[in-house]
Amino acid sequence: MRLNLLGPPGAGKGTQAQRLVEKHGIIQLSTGDMLRAAAAAGTPVGQRAKAIMDRGDLVPDEVMIEIISERLDRPDTAKGFILDGFPRTVEQAKALDNLLEDRGVQLDAIVEIVVDHDILRDRILGRARETGGSRADDTEATVAKRLSVYREQTAPVAEYYGRKGVLKQIDGMGTIAEVAARIDESLKAGTDA
Ligand code: AMP
């Protein structure tokens, strides 16, 4: 199974992705995790990405497309994967279409977790407190920036998939279990769900 999970920062994408990984025996491809690992390793790409992430901006499309392209070529993606945090721009979404077509595969579902933006800020800052502020991009200023970047650059990705008729939108309000149940239901239903 190949899935794409969309939703603003704080929507619970990471949590739901981890659950789907266990349930379906697939791997999670989180571009945020890949960038944080590159930053921690101090690679040139990682160092540049860290400065961009710390201010809540997006890493350039060509860098991200290269990263995900290399990742998709690793053999462990053969059993299925869930994309978490990619694509974040329409440019990335179009590139992903081409990358998948080149490899002769398709996404089985694209699920958008829809959450009221007003409550996201509180959720993300709550996460920052729980993790002891270990993520440099979970500060108040960057959270506001990341939400506006989402509205301007990533919301159009959902519209892009919506126009293609392949988007499933689910309500992201409620408990983790409630949202999980809605995702499972949408994966069972046809593409017009
Ligand atoms: P995340 O863990 O998905 O919230 O990502 C953390 C940060 O990594 C984002 O705020 C961006 O700065 C960067 N990032 C992750 N994925 C992408 C992407 N697909 N395109 C551009 N920047 C990204």
Rg value, the chain, Cα: 16
Give 111's strand partners: 5, 168
The predicted model scores a pTM of 0.90
Q: Is the pLDDT of residue 99 over 80?
A: yes
Q: Is the pLDDT of residue 132 over 80?
A: no
Mean pLDDT calculated for residue range 46-62 = 95
**What whole-number percentage of the chain has pLDDT above 90?**
76
Give residues with Cβ within 8 angstroms of 170, minimum separation 6.
Answer: 111, 112, 113, 114, 179, 182, 183, 186
Interatomic CA distance for residues 23 and 20, integer angstroms: 5
Q: Is 71 a catalytic residue?
A: no
Q: Do you find a cis peptide bond into 9, omega within 30 degrees of 0?
A: no
Catalytic residue among 13, 36, 50, 168: 13
What pLDDT score was predicted for residue 134?
62
Q: Is the pLDDT of residue 182 over 80?
A: yes
Protein residue with its CA nearest to atom 11 in ligand 1: 58
DSSP H stretches of helix in the chain: 13-24, 31-41, 44-54, 61-72, 90-102, 117-130, 140-149, 155-164, 176-188
Does residue 5 contact residue 111 with C-beta atoms inside 8 Å?
Answer: yes
Q: Is the pLDDT of residue 192 over 60?
A: no
Tokens of 83: 């994309």
From 88, 99, 143, give the residue whose CB has the most ligand 1 atoms within 8 Å, as the site to mutate. 88
Q: How confident is the model at residue 193 (pLDDT cuts 50, 70, 90)?
A: very low
Of the two residues 105 and 191, the one the predictor is more confident about is: 105
Q: Is the pLDDT of residue 190 over 70?
A: no
Interatomic CA distance for residues 170 and 185, integer angstroms: 10
Q: Is the pLDDT of residue 126 over 50?
A: yes
Q: How many whole angstroms from 187 Cα to the centroid of ligand 1?
A: 25
Encode pLDDT of 145-181 as tens digits: 989 999 999 999 999 999 999 999 999 999 999 999 9
Q: Is the pLDDT of residue 133 over 70?
A: no
